[in-house]
Each structure stands twice: as C-alpha cells, then as structure tokens.
C-alpha cells in the first residue's frame, strides 16, 4: 500500500457512504423544498426500508434486488398512509409542531422496531457478486463500494432528468420556486407533495437497504444519522437534487477521513463547516430560497 | 405649496430582471391626504416597502423633512416618524387588543427594553393605549383576544398600532382590504378623524374611499408614476381612465 | 395587563417542594433531578415559549454550565457552589451571546440546523478534549465545597443538594417571572406573535432576541452546573441531542410560554420516566412518541393549555346563569 492507493481507498469509501446519504436524503430535500415541512422522521423511513430488506433476505430468502424493490414499495405505501392520515394537518402549522410531531414519529418507529424485531443489530449478507474485491487498475477496492457509487450516479442522473425533462419535474421545480404562483397556475400541490413524499420515502428505504451493510441497522438509526441527513439537505439547498448529491458526497468523504484520522471528535470540523456555510448562504450551496 | 415631509428622488427597485419600481420622484406634504392608486402589480406595496426601509432601493433616495434616510434601517425610520399598516393584518393574534396597542406605545415611549418592573405598572402607557382605543371605538374590545374580533375590527387594531407610534407620516396599505362593505365605514371614519398634522399616504382600490378622502392622487402604472394631481384632475384625465380603469369599471369613479 | 400580580396558587409549587423534602427523604436525589429539569425547561421557555426562538440545541448551554462546574471542581480550581453556578451562568451566557449574534440573523430550518450544529460542535469538542473532560466516562466524584462553608454535599444524603437546588430554582424563577411580565418580556411576546410587525413598530428585534437568548443560555448553564453539583458527576450526555430533545418535550408537555409549564411538564415526564422507563423502556418510548404526536396534532399548548381551555369553557357555561 502506498500513499496514492490510500487516498484512492479513502475517497472511494467516502463516496460510497456519501452515495447512501444522498439516496436517503434526496426525498427529504424535495419534500422540504415543496412544503417547507420539517420532517425529522425521514430517517425512520430509511430504517423501515432497511429492515424490510434485511428481513426479506434473511427470513424470506429474497434476492438483494427483489428485497430492495419490495422495500421501496412497502415504504412508499406506508409513507402515503402516514402522510394522508397524520402529516397533512400540520402543513400550515408552525415549525415547532412539525418538529414535535416528527420527533414523536421517530420514537414510535424506534419503539415499534424494538418490539417487533428486537433491539439487536441486524446484519445484511451481500450477494456473492457484490462482496468481493474489484480491480480498478490503479487500486483494488470493495466491489460493493464501487457498485454503490455507480448506482448513486445513475440515480442522481435519473432524478435530475426527471426534474428537468418531465411534466411532473417541471411542476415540482415551479412549486419549490414559488408555491403560491404554482397553485394559481393550477398545479395540485397537495397531490404533488403526496407523490414526491411517497417517492422520497421509497428512495430513503433503498438507501437504508443499500447502507445497512456498513452503516449498520438497529432501532436507533433514525436518531443516529438525523443530523447528517439534515446537514446534507440544508447545505445542499432545499429542493436541489444536484445540491444534495454534492453535499452528501462531500459529507461522506469528510466523515470517512475524519473518523479515520481523528476518531475522537474529528467530526467537529463537519459542524464548523456546516455553520460557516449556512451563515454565508442560508439557502444552502445550491438552493434558490431560504430554508 | 406647503412643506414637504417625505420625498423620493429617482427611487427604483429591481428584482433580478423585473423592475418593480422605476425612477419615482414623489413628494408628500405635511398634513397631506394623499392617495396612491394603480392596477395590481403596479408596485405600490413595493414603493411603501422602500419608504419604510423594508427593502433597500436599487437606485434613488428617500428624504424625510429634507434629511436623507435612504440608508436608515426600518426601526430607525419608525423612530423618525414613519409608520405603516399592512395590506394583510400583521397583529399579535394571541394577545388582547389592549396588549397589541400597548406593545406599540411602549416601544415608542422607549420603555420596551426595561426588564425589571411589570409592564402593567406603567399606568401612563396603558392609559394612553386605552385613550387611543376609545377614539377608535375599540375600548369595549380592549380585553378581547385579537383573533376573536370580526375582521373589520381587527383592521382597526392594525390602524391603532400604527397611530400609537405617533407618526408624522402614516402609510396605509389598503386599510379596508378584506373588510365586508357593511363594516368598511368604521375604518373610513377612523381614517377621516386622524390628527390633521399627520401626512397620510393611502393605497386604496375603492374609488369611493379615494375620492372621499384624498386631496391629492398619484397614479402608478408598471412601477412608474403615470399621473399626479387633484382628484378633479385625475378624474378628468382620459388616459388614467383608460389605463387604470379599463372599460369594465367605467362607472367606478362615480360609484 | 395585571397578570404580573401574584395569585394564591403560585405558592403551591414551593409548598410542594418543601413537603417533598420531608415526605420523601429517600427520593431527594430524584428530587434534585426534577428541580434541575424544571430550571432547564424554564430557561428554554424564555427563548422558545416567550421569544419564539425554535431551538434543538439548548443542551449546548446546559452542557457548558455542567462542564464549567465539573472541570473547575475536578481540577480543584473552584469548588464553592454558589459562585460556581455564577461562573457556569457566565460561560453558558457568553456562548449563548456569541452564538446568538450569528444565529439569530437566520430563521426557520436554518436556525434549527445551526442550533443543532453548535450543540454537536460543543459535544465533539468535549469528546476531542477527552483528556480534560473525561469523554464518555466523564468526570466522577466531583468535590463540591460545603455550602456557606457549613452544609456538606454528601454522596449518601442529598438533603443539602435538594434544598440548595430548590433555592436556586426559586431565585431563577423569580428572575424569569419578573422578566416575562416586564416591558421587555412583552416585546419578546410580540416578536413571537408577529416579528414583522415588531420591525414595523421600530423594535430592535435582533438585539432583543440576542439579550433573551443570552439570558436563557445563562439560566440553562445554571441548570447544568446544578446537575454537576448535585450528582457530583458530568459526562458527554449533558451535551447530547437526547437531552435537548427531552427538555423540549418536557416544556411542550407542560405547555410553553406559561412559566408553570416547565413545572408540570417536568413532574409528569420524570415521574412517568422514573416508574415506566426502568420496567418497560420500550413501552415508555412508544408512549412518549404517541404523546408527542397527539400533542402536536391536538393539544399544542400542552397540559396547562388544555387545562386553561377547559377552565374557560367551564366559566363560560357558568357565566350566563
């Protein structure tokens, strides 16, 4: 091992973690951008999705891909039910009510998971094709990390194209920019929100499943990573897919480097950086409007 | 002409490529009863925001009594005597009517930073607030929560807060907006009884109100001053009728 | 406008506090925890309940106060309890002032994020300096000098600690009570109710918020310092998201912007936690979650708010007859 391969390893590992962070957070960014709803419970959907994947694989012996698809559908469905039943009355409430409500949801998810599955850590067995090492020419690295990075690029590209090229994407962008204007143009913002909320929660579930192998999966997940989801979203800029992508990747790499070289308290630099960025640009790096 | 209280010189405000207010030269005389009219989106509220310091202008100056206040912040301008009301109520909804007015009175009196005696012990300020409520016929509602009042009376509270600041210049942004016509007379009566020395600028869509109240009218169209004059001159101006009123509202001038 | 006048029932918490001392001598440790929590929630009430500053990071100041007392005592630099709390207030207040200057320019989610980040930053700083702060293991067996040089902070009997905490809470409460009914407090309420109107009446909004945030931080620091003194222990948990969330829940449960919400919320929360959490920790968490959801959806003003509504209804019904 020499210095260059070390660096390559760190960057790849960080990018893989950042990719998972991106996949989990992107839905949060868009729904917050649309509704201004402070949904601290977003990580709970990621956890729920992660559990569905692990249980589907370990108990029902589904393949990884099938388990992810099932998880996406199950989590999206659950999120729609919760959104229609509980979230919507709070859209016009203050942030405080939203914060309390979503903290409450986090606790319910944590307790529910503990009761139904148990408090122990869940392990995910990767399929053989993804668990080896891959020779990238300049460095040998875990196949799974490379796989994640590629998946992340594809997902980011896919969502970005959806935003730029499709009707619903245009509606989302218009609503994020100016909700009142969008409503007066006849865009059904409530319906749009339900759709993006479901999709975003589904993506979080996929992120939860993809990240379970190295982020771990236990009932405390939604609280443990809450601050990271929020940093990715707020630094990237609400409603900006590209913003969250970059912010998540930077965050992933930084965290990887800092925990490696400064295991005690090294992440302090992440918070300092976040504070400085938000003070300089309250709307985030790529955001168009204030949080 | 009488002394000029508030004046703008070449005042402009751009939002990106959009020019909301464009090179406005405007004079508000002491004790004026001046109306600002114009179609929706003409930049009237932006103009008020520039006068009060909510927005900084892109170009131009604002002068109060000849003194340049362009770079004075909003709070500073209030202290110099510019008060306003909002098109949509901005009240302390959870508090009583009396508390709403008291907050303004206390702030004006410079007592709002005091920490170590109860606000209720400043009998002089409370008495002043009550007196103001009496002149606005709100005294009976003094202890009611603002959010419990009918909208017309909430608009009166909006006005009361501005008057409590004892302004020299009062900017009223559609004071009767949203008030059912059966109640709108209480607002108009209150405005007509304002102390004479206050220079009042009123944005209003209701031509009855404008012509009953204003001694001078400025018409804004697309961010610029389109015409200015006495009500008689404005009424007689065919371009104003065409641009501002269109055909549909032909009768509006005469109600 | 006469709300600042004392009413008879305002004596009740203090009577209860003294009765508790005689009635439950074995629970004085729990009593201390309760008093500290009330004080912490009261400090948050000033910022959140009165001025409407929504923060998820109030434990930053609690932790700053706790570590001030803890580190000074642990290295035997300063162990006198009363001045120790003043120092805790000073340090926490200074952090509140400095962070307030930068934070309170922002609103909404940005503000929420920044308060969270400031707290995480302090937590990581304490973690980084584990050589001095003890890190996760913390600083145990802090030596605290006897109160007035006479009354010992015994590890076995918490009676000095309890009475001291009760007295500190009383003094801080009086201060907060005077503050919220003062013209300053009234203008904070105005900022909470409608900030743009406050700007429009010429109020120096940001300055008021910074002053309020600083005082609130200093009080939270006193609460933290008091925890370190009464438990003779401080560790990283004083700075965590858990603690910040807990105090928020306590305050909301009792009712914010109401002074006594902190008391009601802390009593109910800690009593439930004490009896439920040990036996059925998961059920406790589930119940807490459900309770938060119900409060957010149906009872925004907490238990006191609910009681007020019921009382008003009762009075209205009684009124006409």
Nearest to A289 by CA among A42, A91, A34: A34
* pLDDT more than 90, % of chain B: 41
Residues in chain C: 321
| The pLDDT of residue B255 is above 50 | no
Q: How far apart are CA C311 and CA C317, in angstroms?
A: 10
Using an 8 Å Cβ cutoff, are C135 and C245 in contact?
A: no
- SS3 of A128, please? helix
Chains near A, with 3+ CB pairs < 8 A?
C
Give pLDDT, residue B245: 59
Question: Nearest-CA residue of chain A relative to C130?
Answer: A264
Q: How far apart are CA A9 and CA A15, in angstroms?
A: 10
Per the structure, how many domains does chain B have?
A: 1
CATH number of the structural domain spanning residue B208: 3.40.50.300
B25: confidence class by pLDDT, cuts 50, 70, 90:
very high
Q: How far apart are CA C234 and CA C139, in angstroms?
A: 5
Q: How far apart are CA A172 and CA B47, in angstroms?
A: 32
| The pLDDT of residue C25 is above 80 | yes
All residues of chain C having their beta carbon less than 8 Å from the beta carbon of residue B120 are 1-5, 181
All residues of chain C having their beta carbon less than 8 Å from the beta carbon of residue B78 are 200-202
Give pLDDT, residue B253: 43
Distance from CA of B58 to the nearest CA of C (A): 21
Using an 8 Å CB-CB cutoff, list residues of chain C that contact chain B: 1-5, 178-179, 181-187, 189-190, 193-194, 196-205, 208
Q: Which CATH number fits domain A3-280: 3.30.70, 1.10.8, 1.10.3470, 3.40.50?
A: 1.10.3470
Residue whose entry in the numeric block shows the structure tokens 């131009």? B60
C277: confidence class by pLDDT, cuts 50, 70, 90:
confident
CB atoms C106 and A268 under 8 Å: no
Tokens of C246: 């807990």
Give pLDDT, residue C128: 86
Could you tell me the pTM of the whole model? 0.90
Mean pLDDT of A163-183: 83
Question: Nearest-CA residue of chain C relative to B51?
Answer: C200
Distance from CA of B103 to the nearest CA of C (A): 6
Selected for mutation to probe chain A from C99, C115, C124, C284 (highest A CB count within 10 Å) is: C124
Q: For A210, phi and psi rounded to 5 degrees?
A: -65, -35
- SS3 of B54, please? coil
Residue B172 lies in a domain: yes
* Touch criterion met for C and B (3+ Cβ pairs within 8 Å): yes
User: Which tens digit of pLDDT belongs to each residue from C125-145?
Assistant: 998 888 888 888 888 877 877
Q: Which range (A109-123, A159-173, B49-63, B72-86) has the least confidence?
A: A159-173
Top mean-pLDDT range of B21-35, B235-249, C209-223, C249-263: C209-223
Q: How far apart are CA A31 and CA A195, in angstroms?
A: 10
Domain ranges of chain A: 3-280
Selected for mutation to probe chain A from C283, C292, C294, C302 (highest A CB count within 10 Å) is: C292
Give pLDDT, residue B251: 43
* Touch criterion met for B and A (3+ Cβ pairs within 8 Å): no
| The pLDDT of residue C32 is above 50 | yes
Residue B24 lies in a domain: yes
Domain range spanning residue B244? 4-91+166-254
User: Which tens digit of pLDDT belongs to each residue from C296-314?
Assistant: 888 777 788 888 888 878 8
CB neighbours (10 Å) of residue A107?
26
Q: Residues of B numbered 53-92 whose beta carbons fall under 8 angstroms of chain C's beta carbons: which are they?
A: 54, 74-79, 83-84, 86, 90-92
Q: How far apart are CA C300 and CA C313, in angstroms?
A: 17
CB atoms C193 and B108 under 8 Å: no
A116: confidence class by pLDDT, cuts 50, 70, 90:
very high
Q: Which of C105, C113, C282 sits opposite A234 (nearest CB)?
A: C113
CB atoms A265 and C130 under 8 Å: yes
Tokens of C56: 């998820």
| The pLDDT of residue C150 is above 80 | no
Q: Which of A32, A100, A119 sits opposite C292 (nearest CB)?
A: A100
Give pLDDT, residue B242: 78
Mean pLDDT of A19-39: 88
User: Which tens digit of pLDDT belongs to each residue from B179-209?
Assistant: 887 788 888 888 888 988 999 999 988 888 8
Give pLDDT, residue C165: 94
All residues of chain C having their beta carbon less than 8 Å from the beta carbon of residue B106 are 183, 186-187
Distance from CA of C2 to the nearest CA of B (A): 6
E strand segments, chain A: 133-135, 140-142
Nearest to C55 by CA among C133, C122, C107, C8: C107
Q: For B195, phi and psi rounded to 5 degrees?
A: -50, 140
Q: Which of C112, C125, C289 sits opposite A104 (nearest CB)?
A: C289
Q: How far apart are CA B91 and CA C194, in angstroms?
A: 6
Question: Nearest-CA residue of chain A relative to C121?
Answer: A268
Q: What structural domains does chain C harbor?
A: 8-318 (1.10.3470)
Give pLDDT, residue B250: 44
Give pLDDT, residue B79: 92
Higher pLDDT, B16 or A68: A68
Q: Residues of A numbered 114-143 whose beta carbons fall under 8 angstroms of chain C's beta carbons: which are they?
A: 114-115, 119
All residues of chain C having their beta carbon less than 8 Å from the beta carbon of residue B116 are 178, 182
Selected for mutation to probe chain B from C188, C194, C202, C204 (highest B CB count within 10 Å) is: C202
| The pLDDT of residue B244 is above 70 | no
Give pLDDT, residue B246: 56
DSSP class of residue B96 equals B
């Amino acid at each position: 091992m020499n210095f260059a391969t070390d660096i390559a390893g760190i960057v790849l590992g960080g990018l893989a973690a950042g990719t998972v962070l991106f996949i989990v957070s992107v839905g949060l960014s868009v729904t917050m951008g649309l509704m201004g709803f402070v949904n601290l419970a977003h990580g709970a959907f990621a956890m729920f999705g992660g559990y569905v994947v692990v249980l589907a694989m370990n108990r029902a012996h589904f393949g990884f891909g099938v388990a992810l698809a099932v998880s996406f559908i199950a989590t999206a469905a659950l999120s729609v039910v919760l959104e229609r039943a509980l979230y919507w009355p709070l859209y016009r409430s203050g942030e405080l009510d939203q914060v309390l409500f979503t903290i409450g949801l986090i606790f319910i998810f944590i307790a529910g998971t503990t009761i139904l599955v148990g408090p122990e850590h869940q392990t995910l067995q990767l399929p053989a094709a993804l668990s080896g090492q891959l020779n990238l020419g300049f460095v040998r690295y875990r196949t799974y990390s490379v796989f994640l990075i590629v998946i992340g690029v594809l997902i980011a590209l896919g969502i970005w194209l959806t935003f730029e090229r499709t009707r619903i994407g245009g509606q989302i962008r218009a609503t994020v920019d100016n909700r009142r204007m969008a409503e007066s143009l006849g865009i059904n913002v409530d319906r749009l929100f339900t759709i993006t909320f479901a999709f975003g929660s589904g993506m979080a579930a996929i992120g939860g499943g993809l990240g379970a192998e190295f982020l771990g999966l236990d009932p405390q997940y939604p609280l443990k990573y809450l601050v990271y989801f929020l940093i990715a979203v707020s630094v990237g800029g609400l409603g900006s897919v590209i913003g969250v992508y970059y912010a998540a990747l930077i965050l992933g790499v930084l965290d990887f480097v800092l925990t490696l070289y400064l295991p005690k308290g090294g992440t302090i630099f992440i918070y300092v950086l976040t504070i400085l960025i938000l003070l300089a640009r309250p709307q985030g790096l790529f955001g168009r409007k204030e949080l | 002409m009488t002394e000029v209280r508030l004046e703008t010189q070449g005042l402009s405000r751009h939002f990106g490529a959009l020019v909301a207010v464009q090179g406005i030269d405007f004079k508000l005389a002491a004790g004026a009863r001046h109306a600002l009219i114009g179609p929706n989106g003409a930049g009237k509220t932006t103009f008020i925001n520039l006068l009060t310091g909510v927005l900084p202008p892109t170009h131009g100056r604002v002068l109060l009594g000849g003194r340049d206040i362009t770079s004075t912040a909003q709070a500073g301008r209030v202290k110099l005597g510019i008060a306003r009301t909002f098109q949509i109520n901005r009240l302390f909804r959870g508090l009583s009517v009396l508390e709403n007015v008291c907050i303004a009175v206390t702030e004006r009196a410079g007592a709002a930073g005091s920490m170590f005696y109860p606000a209720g012990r400043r009998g002089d300020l409370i008495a002043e607030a009550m007196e103001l409520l009496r002149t606005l016929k709100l005294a009976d509602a003094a202890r009611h929560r603002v959010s419990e009042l009918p909208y017309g009376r909430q608009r009166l509270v909006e006005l009361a807060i501005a008057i409590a600041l004892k302004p020299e210049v009062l900017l009223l942004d559609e004071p009767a907006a949203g008030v059912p016509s059966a109640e709108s007379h209480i607002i108009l009566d209150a405005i007509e009884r304002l102390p004479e020395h206050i220079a009042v600028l009123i944005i209003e869509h209701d031509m009855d109100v404008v012509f009953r109240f204003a001694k001078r009218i400025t018409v804004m169209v697309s961010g610029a001053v389109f015409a200015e004059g006495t009500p008689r001159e404005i009424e007689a101006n065919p371009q104003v009728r065409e641009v501002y009123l269109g055909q549909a509202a032909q009768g509006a001038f005469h109600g | 406008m006469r709300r600042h006048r004392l009413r008879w029932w305002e004596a009740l918490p203090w009577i209860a506090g003294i009765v508790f001392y005689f009635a439950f001598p074995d629970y004085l440790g729990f009593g201390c925890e309760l008093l500290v929590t009330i004080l912490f929630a009261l400090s948050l009430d000033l910022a959140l309940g009165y001025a409407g500053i929504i923060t998820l990071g109030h434990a930053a100041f609690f932790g700053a106060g706790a570590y001030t007392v803890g580190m000074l005592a642990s290295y035997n630099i300063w162990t006198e309890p009363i001045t120790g709390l003043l120092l805790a207030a000073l340090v926490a207040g200074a952090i509140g002032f400095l962070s307030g200057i930068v934070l309170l320019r922002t609103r909404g989610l940005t503000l929420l994020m920044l308060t969270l980040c400031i707290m995480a930053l302090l937590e990581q700083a304490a973690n980084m300096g584990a050589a001095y702060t003890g890190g996760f293991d913390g600083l145990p067996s802090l030596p605290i000098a006897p109160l007035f040089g006479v009354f010992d902070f015994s590890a076995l009997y918490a009676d000095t600690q309890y009475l001291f905490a009760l007295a500190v809470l009383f003094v801080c409460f009086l201060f907060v009570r005077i503050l919220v009914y003062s013209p300053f407090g009234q203008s904070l309420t105005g900022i909470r109710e409608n900030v743009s109107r406050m700007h429009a009446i010429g109020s120096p909004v940001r300055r008021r918020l910074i002053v309020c945030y600083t005082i609130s931080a200093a009080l939270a620091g006193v609460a933290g310092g008091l925890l370190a003194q009464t438990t003779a222990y401080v560790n990283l948990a004083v700075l965590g998201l858990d603690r910040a969330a807990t105090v928020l829940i306590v305050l909301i449960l009792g009712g914010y912007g109401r002074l006594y919400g902190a008391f009601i919320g802390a009593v109910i929360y800690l009593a439930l936690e004490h009896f439920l959490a040990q036996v059925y920790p998961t059920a406790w968490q589930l119940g807490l979650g459900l309770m938060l959801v119900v409060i957010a959806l149906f009872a925004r003003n907490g238990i006191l708010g609910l009681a007020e509504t019921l009382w008003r209804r009762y009075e209205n019904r009684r009124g006409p007859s």
